[in-house]
Every structure is written in structure tokens, then in C-alpha cells.
Amino acid sequence: MTRYQHLASLLAERIEQGLYQSGERLPSVRMLSGEHGVSISTVQQAYHLLEERQLIQPQPRSGYFVAPRKATPPVPALTRPVQRPVEITQWESVLELLSSRGSGAVMQLGSGIPDISRSTIKPLWREMVRLGHLQDPRLLNYDSLYGVSMLREQIARLAVDSGCRFNADDVVITTGCHEALSISIRAVCQYGDIVAVESPAFHGTMQTLRGLGIRVIEIPTDSVSGISLEALELAFEQWPIKAVIVVPNCNNPLGFIMPDARKRALISLAQRFDIAIIEDDVYGELAFDYPRPVTLKSLDGDGRVLLCSSFSKTLAPGLRVGWVVPGRYFDRVLHTKYINTGSTAVQPQMAAAEFVRQGHYMPHLRRMRQQYQRNLSVMTCWVRQYFPANICVSRPQGGFLMWVELPENFDAVRLNRRLQEHGVQIAAGSLFSASGKYRNCLRINYALPLDTHSEQAIRLLGQATEQALNDGG
């Protein structure tokens, strides 16, 4: 980012946060130049940029004023999915989304990829070098079926922050949270069973259920407080449901954190109907507020929660280091782990374990939480600015994913195709439903440092959206 871009985004943030109110006069060019120790022309460039973005307006001879603020879009309302078990489709679209991985040309606003380029991750590289020098034969040999014990110890230690008390021996290491979920589902369900999920829900989980021949019932979910317990209870009463899968902390895609009272109520409900809970905590450590929110697992009295997580969102997805704390389902999880992958790659486990053990993880998390929170406020500002007015936008409480809901007739899948030639890609909402809902929604990743490039992509996205709506979807 150049100096003037930096200054501009600083000012944009202040405006966003209401430090400069709509209609208020902004500091003079001279004053800002003095305050920030930059040249007059840098300030002028920054003001021009903000003017371009329609955040400020010049008044001849009296300087710049904050432009009338567009209203903040409301949050999406409680979702209303189909209330019966359905089979999952959408694999083609998921595959399309995944296939753009690694193709550098595409601005992957649709991905679930964190920023892996910050300096706080450097010790991980150092650890990799050290492990190579050490030539510890354990790296090349079969790992224990449970996973590297030093890593399991660190995971048990970290879990204390989420209110959990378990031991290294309660943990099974997996190849990413994907494997943790896949194993957990297979430990509690069989082909043909029914599982309840949030709606919208992470497409990976949906595809896993599909691959295992399990039907889902999608439960209405509120973008602020999470899965509707009332609807869930009704579903439990009506259908022979085996398990419920939730992402209660920094939900993907809606961004909410379930309030503690509702977490407790969910546990009671599951107890009453004797249903297993698969808790996906993969974004939990990225909650903007510290200390982090508690897990369902921490409230679990009788071992019915299978806690699944990984370092994919907090550290690096390429490590493929995840874990499951399966409670009473331990034995079945262990067997399924064995038949799934035998054991987990050792080097990434060792590298991650050392990274945590040496105390690099917490500073890294802090750094990333800050970045994601700042990015969110900029992204919110851009979305308000460049998108049509009649939209709803989520208020993520952590993580790096935003959910935008457009009018009913909008088609995000078609939009994605149109954007392809511009090298921009979003995640169409329909990936997150088994019954083809949310075609009018899209999910945007704001993990990476935001620059004029990203702003241009969002502007393009907004324009394309506007145009699509004018064209009738």
C-alpha cells in the first residue's frame, strides 16, 4: 500500500466508525499533513481517493466534508429452509469453487483461505528448517494412530481458553477439520440416516453428508444468534435425527457467535432427545473479542459432543492438521480414523506442535484477529458503498467471512460466471444449502490485506450485482 492509500483507509475507517460524522468538516490538508508527517500532495491524493469512493465531498473554498452516509444495511433475517430431510447436490459448483485454488490469477473472494503471509507465522518456517536438520526418524515413520502426543498436549492446553478440560489422550489428530468431521459423522450415523444442520451450512460438511448417503434437515438459523432451537426441537420431534452439526463460534458463513444461554439450551435439547452434537470450532479462536467464546464441548455433561477443529483457519490450511475430541464416541472415531488415512502426516504435526509450544501461536492469533477485524470494517464500508441499497449484510463476530443477501430474484451462480472473465470469484450462497436455497446470497472473504486491488474487485462486484438486478437477476 502506498502512503496516500494508507492515509485514505485510515480516514475511511474513522468515518466508518463515526469519528467523523456525516456532514462534518474534515481536517485541512495542512493539518493532516502535519499530524501524519506526510506531504501536502499525499494528503491531497488521499482526499481525492475518498472523494472517488464517495465518502467525502469537496466544498469550494472550505475544504472536504463527510458525505451523507448511506444507511447501514440490515442483517439477514432468520432463514427459512425446507423443513424436511433432503438429499444434497451442488457438487459441481463446489468443485468449480475448489478448482480455482492455486490459480493465482483469480481474486478468490469465495475461498475460506486465511492470510498466511504475516510475519507472526515466520517461526513456523524456522521450525520446518529445524526439523529437517534434526533428522528425527519419527518424522518418517508411522505415527501413533492417535497423533503426535506433544501436539495433543498442546491442543488440550489451548482448549482451556474455550472452557474445556480434557487430556491429550482424549484427542485424535486428523488430516484437517475435514477428516475430523467426516470421521465424526461416520462415528454417529449410517447410510440413510438423517442429520440436522444450520441453514446456511458449510458446503464441505454438506458434501460429506452427501457422500455418506445421509439426508439433512436444514434448520432455520438467525444471523445473530444462530440455529433456531425452536425449529430444531420440532425437527427432533418429527424425524429420527441422529446428530446435529453446528458451527456455533464465528459461524461459516453467517459469522455469529451463539450466546452462551443458547449453547446451554442446545446441549439440554440434545440430551433430552439423546442426539449427538458435532461441533465445528474451526473459526472459534478468531473471535474478535478476547477471551474467546466457550465451546459446546465445555458445557457437555455426558460426552455427546464431538468437538472438531484444525489449524487451517488460524495458522495454515496446507498443514492439514486437525483434531477431534470425540467424547463417548472415542472408540468408533479411532477405528474410523484408522480406516480413513491410517495415521496423519508427521512433519506438519511436529511443526504445528512446536509453534504452539514455543509460544508463537497466541501472538499470531492476536495479530490475525486484529487484521480480520480491521478488514471487516473496511469491507463493510465498501459493501455499503458499492452494492445496491436493498441488501442485508451479516455482522461477523470473528473469522474472515461476510454474508451478503440480495433481493430474491438475484442469481449469485450466474454472477460468478460473469465475474470469471474479470478474475474475480465469490462463493454463491447456494453451495450452503442442500435444497437449493440462497442463490440470492454470496459469501465474501476479507482475510487478505485490503488494497486498491481488493477495493476494485468489490466495486466490480457491486456494479455487476447492480446490473444483474437491473437485468432481472
Ligand X SMILES: Cc1ncc(COP(=O)(O)O)c(C=O)c1O
**On the CB side of 325, how many CA atoms lie within 13 Å of its CA?**
27
Question: Which residue from 72, 144, 268, 409 is in contact with a copy of itself, where contact means CB under 8 A?
Answer: 144
Based on the shown chain and the rule CB under 8 A, indicate whether residue 245 belongs to the binding site for a copy of itself: no
Question: Which residue from 293, 322, 327, 462 is in contact with ligand X, where contact means CB under 6 A?
Answer: 322
137 binds, among ligand X, a copy of itself, none (CB under 5 to 8 A by kind): a copy of itself
Q: Which is nearer to a copy of itself, 41 or 190 (CB)?
A: 190
- Measured distance CA(397)–CA(166) in Å, rounded: 26
Question: What is the nearest approach in angstroms of ligand X to the Cβ of residue 77?
Answer: 22
Phi and psi at residue 172, to the nearest 5° = -120, 125
Based on the shown chain and the rule CB under 8 A, indicate whether residue 123 belongs to the binding site for a copy of itself: no
Residues from 335 through 354 that contact a copy of itself (CB under 8 A): 335-336, 338-348, 351
Residues from 298 through 337 that contact a copy of itself (CB under 8 A): 312, 316-321, 334-336
Q: How many other C-beta atoms are found inside a 10 Å radius of the C-beta of residue 14?
A: 13
Question: Which residue from 342, 359, 363, 436 is in contact with ligand X, where contact means CB under 6 A?
Answer: 342
202 binds, among ligand X, a copy of itself, none (CB under 5 to 8 A by kind): ligand X
Residues from 52 through 91 that contact a copy of itself (CB under 8 A): 91
Residue nearest to ligand X (CB): 176
Based on the shown chain and the rule CB under 8 A, indicate whether residue 118 belongs to the binding site for a copy of itself: no
Question: What is the nearest approach in angstroms of a copy of itself to the Cβ of residue 203?
Answer: 10
Based on the shown chain and the rule CB under 6 A, indicate whether residue 85 belongs to the binding site for ligand X: no
Question: What is the nearest approach in angstroms of ligand X to the Cβ of residue 434?
Answer: 16
Do the beta carbons of residue 145 and residue 337 sit within 8 Å? yes
Length of the chain: 473
Contacts (Cβ under 8 Å, ≥6 apart) of 97: 110, 111, 203, 425, 427, 431
3-class state of residue 236 by DSSP: helix
Q: Which is nearer to ligand X, 220 or 322 (CB)?
A: 322
Q: Which is nearer to ligand X, 342 or 363 (CB)?
A: 342
Residues from 160 through 179 that contact ligand X (CB under 6 A): 176-178
226 binds, among ligand X, a copy of itself, none (CB under 5 to 8 A by kind): none
Question: What is the nearest approach in angstroms of ligand X to the Cβ of residue 364?
Answer: 17
Based on the shown chain and the rule CB under 8 A, indicate whether residue 199 belongs to the binding site for a copy of itself: no
Q: How many other C-beta atoms are found inside a 10 Å radius of the C-beta of residue 407?
A: 13
Beta bridge partners of 244: 196, 277
Based on the shown chain and the rule CB under 8 A, indicate whether residue 110 belongs to the binding site for a copy of itself: no
| Cis peptide leading into residue 200 (ω within 30°) | yes
Chain CA centroid to CA 41, Å: 39
- Measured distance CA(473)–CA(469) in Å, rounded: 5
- Percent composition of the chain: helix, strand, coil (DSSP 3-state, to 5): 45, 15, 40
- Which is it for strands 241-246 and 276-280: parallel, antiparallel or unpaired? parallel
Which grid coordinates belong to 88? 444434497
Chain CA centroid to CA 414, Å: 23
Based on the shown chain and the rule CB under 6 A, indicate whether residue 443 belongs to the binding site for ligand X: no
Site size toward ligand X (CB under 6 A) is 15
282 binds, among a copy of itself, ligand X, none (CB under 5 to 8 A by kind): ligand X
Which grid coordinates belong to 156? 488440550
**Angle, helix 452-470 to helix 361-386, in steps of 10 degrees:** 40
Chain contacts with ligand X (rule: CB under 6 A): 112, 176-178, 202, 204, 247, 252, 280, 282, 310, 312, 317, 322, 342
